[in-house]
Structure 1
């Protein structure tokens, strides 16, 4: 992408959204909490928490977890616009040849893999499981241990070959970290460079996201320290290895607001492409929820809002935006458990701001 946005302004604490932001902040339980809002290019931040981060919290880089997926799919859309691939290419067309006992080529990754397209991976309709089978037992027995560390590209491709699809590709939605992780080797093959380099050159730098890095090898010196559910036990940035495209990015609140502002004013075609609805979920729990190429979409006054959340072993975050009012909310918390409430508080804040 080549489109960039003009520098935003930062509003003083008298901004009209501040009372709503402070009310949302009070709902969140974590050592460090930051809520960041952009409205028509004007940025506002509030922060708090039980820790000692103080006024510097909004300058830290937070683990984005699954919010990383939106950047990976944006890179996919950008390479598609550049003609390096198409969204409906078969997955196996962009993977290295793999030799089995019956030879190499078609079927080497299993019969289901040959029917999976890149669009299926991006929209979680590939049928692949959430994680590979060799990560399930460690996750159950040691839920606070990072099983992704040291997970190599070779293991990732072997996991695809061994995967048992839950359904035929394109027929149902099922969230899959494995599916998004597989976009890593796909993008490298099509883009002719390592994933981290492609992401920085084609996405992060054009959007002005100067504080965003892949961790932990390239983790920023100002990386926030996460915590377990007790709010006291520290959890440093984790190594996602071959799963970095699914959850390895760290970014500051200002980075995410720059990202949101680009999505609200999408000057590059790929930024528009990732907001186009692709499917509608019709389960009792998710009746009518729409999915774009990478975002969840819900109805709201004046037009839909789009959002995605993310979590690492010790942090949680949220980013949502409402194009009709040029409003976006980013939320961060350095604690990960069900009671942290950063996702619900941020989502509720975004809804409230659409009515201002």
Structure 2
């Protein structure tokens, strides 16, 4: 199951857990190329956005989800004061993505005060009416960290430790302090092989600022097995009545008819994926310290080995309606549908086959589906999805 790579290369740590017991584990490559430190089960990796499930669990243990931002942060700007905590958790707030604000990403490597970060987006209008759309938002999760600190009077790091890490028995997982010296910590690498620099935790924080190990994430899987938190895995329902593939801190959906909940992460030299099939009591963990590692593909190979389900049947070819042709964008993804029935996303063309008047399957990968609804299209791929909107401006993201 290891990705093919030369021996002196950044590494990966993977595990498969069934009913709380580790049934497969493999570590390859190096945590630090300079010191030839090999990846091990206790190597500390940046989690990036796999932080978000931890944030959601912390928030749900402390805060009323249907209370507004303004109730917890009285000085929050008027445009977003009525956004609820639940809308922050489900990426349906409409609050702009701070990583897209010109100049902000370059500053994200330096420590900043909450006031300085808030000023980057405080005067911007909402991107859409809260609850009407799904748009992945690091800003929203950063704000959740601020709300936790306002409620507890302490740090977000201490709150997540009290609510999740200590109950789960996780000993090497934490919110990473900028000046922290951590034993067994992996160094992140770019695709070209150079060492990368991590953003300041003051920016990443509750959105992507945690680190962990393979061993600790196995403990986390056991903790979730005990909790059986099905409410978190329900897909969010928009004001239109349509659902999106995200719950309370989790990407959710079904793979070949089996429900899953998980999250991926990517941040300056690190990638991560944690995936669960709750009904099967089956969990998958993939951690890497090299940009460009396809964690979805690696996870999928593991899933196909340990979860036996037949491949979907591809229907016969059919036409694509002319009104469906166009480009649909979200914050950091896009799909272009051509008149010849080809949908291109992720730099790869997919030949569409109709399942019904609004649902199409890829003839090239039957686990990929496309759902059309009004001026939007949802692309569902193994263990994730995105919804693009026609006419939305093109974004440049640096996460």
TM range (shorter): 0.7 to 0.9
Distance 2:107 2:47 in 1: 15
Name the one with the larger strand percent: 2
Structure of higher CA gyration radius: 2
Secondary structure at 1:161 match in 2: coil
1:61, 1:223 within 8 Å by CA — same for their partners in 2?
Answer: yes
Residue by residue, what CA displacement relative to the aligned partner does 1:156-205 show, whole Å, maximum 9, x if unpaired? 33234223211011100001111110011111122232111111111111
Contact map agreement 2:48 2:209 (CA 8 A) in 1? yes
Does residue 1:345 correspond to 2:312, yes or no? no
Q: Give yes or no for contact 2:48–2:267 (8 Å, CA) kept in 1.
A: yes
How much has 1:122 moved relative to structure 2?
0.5
Tell whether 2:302 aligns with 1:325: no
The 1:160–1:177 alpha-carbon spacing in structure 2 relative to 1, beyond 3 Å, is same
Q: Which residue of 2 aligns with 1:82?
A: none
In 1, the alpha carbon distance for the partners of 2:54 and 2:115 equals 23
Contact 1:28-1:345 at 8 Å conserved across structures: no
Say if 2:284 and 2:299, in contact at 8 Å, map to a contact too. yes
* Residues 100-111 of structure 1 mapped to structure 2, 5 A cutoff: 109-110=77-78
Q: Is the 8 A contact 2:98 2:121 kept in 1?
A: no
Which residue in the other structure is 1:45 paired with? Answer: 25
Q: Is the CA contact 1:316–1:335 (under 8 Å) kept in the aligned structure 2? A: yes
Q: CA–CA distance in 2 between the matches of 1:217 and 1:205?
A: 23
Give the distance between the partners of 1:164 and 1:349, measured in 2 at CA: 43
Task: Kindly indicate whether structure 1 or structure 2 has the higher relative contact order, using CA contacts under 8 Å at least 6 residues apart.
Answer: 1
Q: Is the 8 A contact 2:46 2:211 kept in 1?
A: yes
State which of 235, 251, 261 in structure 2 corresponds to 1:277: 235
Q: Report the equivalent of 1:5.
A: none
Q: Which of these residues, 185, 202, 222, is aligned with residue 241 of structure 1?
A: 202
**1:122-133 correspondence to structure 2 within 5 Å:** 122-131=89-98
TM-score (norm 1): 0.77
Q: Which runs of 5+ in 2 are unaligned?
A: 310-399
Distance in 1 separating the partners of 2:128 and 2:118: 19
Is 1:147 matched with 2:121? Answer: no
In structure 1, distance between residues paired with 2:5 and 2:21 = 24
Shift of 1:74: 0.8
Moved more, 251-260 or 213-222: 213-222
2:64 aligned to which of 86, 96, 106: 86
Q: Does residue 1:225 correspond to 2:187, yes or no?
A: yes
Q: Aligned equivalents of 2:268 and 2:281: distance in 1?
A: 32
Contact 1:65 1:249 in 2 (8 A): yes
Quote the offset at 1:147 in angstroms.
Answer: 2.1
Aligned to 2:13: 34
Q: What SS does the corresponding residue of 2:255 show, helix, strand or coil?
A: coil
Q: 1:298 to 1:219 in 2, by over 3 A?
A: farther
CA RMSD of aligned residues (A): 2.6
Conservation of the 8 A alpha-carbon contact between 1:213 and 1:219: no
Deviation at residue 351 of structure 1 after TM alignment: 4.5
* Distance change >3 Å, CA 351–CA 295, structure 1 → 2: farther
1:254 shift after superposition: 1.1
Partners in 2 of 1:238 and 1:222 — Cα distance?
A: 20
Structure 1 residues without counterparts, runs of 5 or longer: 1-21, 80-84, 99-107, 140-144
State yes or no: 1:72 paired with 2:52: no
Superposed, 1:304-319 pairs within 5 Å as: 304-319=259-274
TM-score, structure 2 length as denominator? 0.69
What is the aligned length? 300
- 8 Å CA contact 1:151, 1:242 repeated in 2: yes
2:102 alignment partner, SS class? helix
Look up the match of 1:264.
225
Contact 1:289 1:296 in 2 (8 A): no
Tell me how far apart the structure 2 counterparts of residues 241 and 125 of structure 1 sit (CA, whole Å).
23
Looking at structure 2, the residues matched to 31 and 243 of structure 1 have their Cα atoms a distance apart, in angstroms, of 23
Q: Structure 1, residues 256-286: CA drift from partner, whole Å, max 9, x if none?
A: 121122223316xxx444223323799xxxx
1:317–1:74 CA distance, 2 compared to 1 (3 A): same
Distance in 2 separating the partners of 1:206 and 1:184: 20
What residue number does 1:19 align with? none
Partner in structure 1 of residue 345 of structure 2: none
Task: Supply the distance in 2 between the matched residues of 1:39 and 1:28 (Cα, whole angstroms).
Answer: 28
Give 1:304 shift: 0.1
The answer as to whether partners of 2:134 and 2:244 remain within 8 angstroms in 1 is no
Question: More helix per residue: 1 or 2?
Answer: 1
CA distance in 1, matches of 2:5, 2:94: 35
Task: Quickly say closer, same or farther: Cα 1:334–1:281, change in 2 above 3 A.
Answer: farther
